[in-house]
C-alpha cells in the first residue's frame, strides 16, 4: 500500500488539477453610504429624493458644497465602488441635525437633539419617510425609515442647569435589519439609487438643515486575475 492515501471513509481523494488557476475570488465585508441634505424650512410632503446619485467631490443631493467622505464614499454616482459585486444584508438610516439654515459654513451636523422642536424634526422624518430601491425603471419599497437600522425612536439623556441644555438625544441603534436572510445583489455594472419618499402628512423641515444618511451593509466579491 506504499504511496496510497489512507481514507477511512473509503472515498477516493479528489483529483488534482494539472493547471494553475487563472483567477481567484476575494471576499470582504464593507459598507456604502450616501447623505441627503434638507435645507431649513423645506416642505417634504408628497415628495421623493434620491440618494447614491452624487459621488464624492461633486455637488448634489441638497448640498451646495462638494460632498466629502463624511457624506458619501461613492466614486461614481449610482455604482458600487471599485465595480465589485455587492450583496446588501442591512440598511441603516441616520438622521442628523445641522447648525445652519442652508449648506454653508458652518453646517456641521453636530447639534444634539435636546429640545422639543429638534426631537419633533427627527420624529417627523422617521414617521413619514419611506426608503425604496430605484433600479432605473423599477421601484421596490424597502421599509419605513423608522425600521431601517439606526431607527428606533428619539431617546437619550438631557441635563439642564443654569439655563443651559446639554444632552445627546439620538434616533437609536439598529435592532431590526432588512435582508438578514436574503441579501439584495448589486452587480458591479448595475446602476442603483435609494429613494426617500414622504407621505402627505409630513411636516416641513425645521429652521436648520437636516441630513439623512443611508448606509448599506454587505459583502463584496472581487475577481483577481493571476495568470
pLDDT tens sequence across 49-60 = 999 999 999 999
Q: What is the pLDDT of residues 53-100, one digit of tens each?
A: 999 999 999 999 999 999 999 999 998 887 788 899 889 888 999 999
Tell me how far CA of residue 212 lies from CA of 38, 97, 118, in angstroms: 8, 9, 14
Residues 162-179, mean pLDDT to the nearest whole number: 61
> Cell digits for 15?
483529483
Q: Which residue has the higher pLDDT, 180 or 43?
A: 43
- Give residues with Cβ within 8 angstroms of 87, minimum separation 6: 183, 184, 185, 186, 218, 219, 220, 221
Q: What is the pTM of this model?
A: 0.80
Q: Which pLDDT score is estimated for 1?
A: 45
Domains in the chain: boundaries: 28-225
Amino acid at each position: 500500500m506504499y504511496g496510497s492515501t489512507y481514507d477511512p471513509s473509503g472515498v477516493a481523494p479528489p483529483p488534482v488539477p494539472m493547471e494553475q488557476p487563472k483567477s481567484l475570488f476575494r471576499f470582504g465585508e464593507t459598507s456604502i453610504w450616501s447623505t441627503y441634505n434638507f435645507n431649513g424650512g423645506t416642505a417634504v410632503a408628497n415628495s421623493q429624493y434620491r440618494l447614491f446619485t452624487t459621488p464624492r467631490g461633486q455637488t448634489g443631493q441638497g448640498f451646495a458644497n462638494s460632498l466629502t467622505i463624511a457624506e458619501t464614499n461613492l466614486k461614481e454616482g449610482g455604482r458600487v465602488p471599485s465595480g465589485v459585486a455587492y450583496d446588501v444584508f442591512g440598511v441603516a438610516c441616520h438622521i442628523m441635525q445641522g447648525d445652519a439654515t442652508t449648506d454653508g459654513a458652518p453646517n456641521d451636523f453636530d447639534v444634539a437633539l435636546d429640545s422639543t422642536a429638534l426631537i419633533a424634526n427627527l420624529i417627523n422624518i422617521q414617521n413619514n419617510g419611506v426608503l425604496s430601491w430605484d433600479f432605473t425603471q423599477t421601484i421596490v419599497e424597502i421599509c419605513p425609515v423608522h425600521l431601517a437600522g439606526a431607527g428606533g425612536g428619539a431617546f437619550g439623556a438631557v441635563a439642564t442647569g443654569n439655563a443651559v441644555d446639554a444632552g445627546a438625544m439620538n434616533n437609536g441603534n439598529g435592532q431590526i435589519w432588512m435582508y438578514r436572510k436574503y441579501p439584495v445583489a448589486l452587480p458591479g455594472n448595475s446602476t442603483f439609487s435609494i429613494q426617500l419618499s414622504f407621505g402627505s402628512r409630513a411636516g416641513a423641515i425645521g429652521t436648520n438643515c437636516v441630513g439623512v444618511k443611508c448606509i448599506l451593509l454587505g459583502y463584496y466579491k472581487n475577481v483577481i486575475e493571476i495568470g
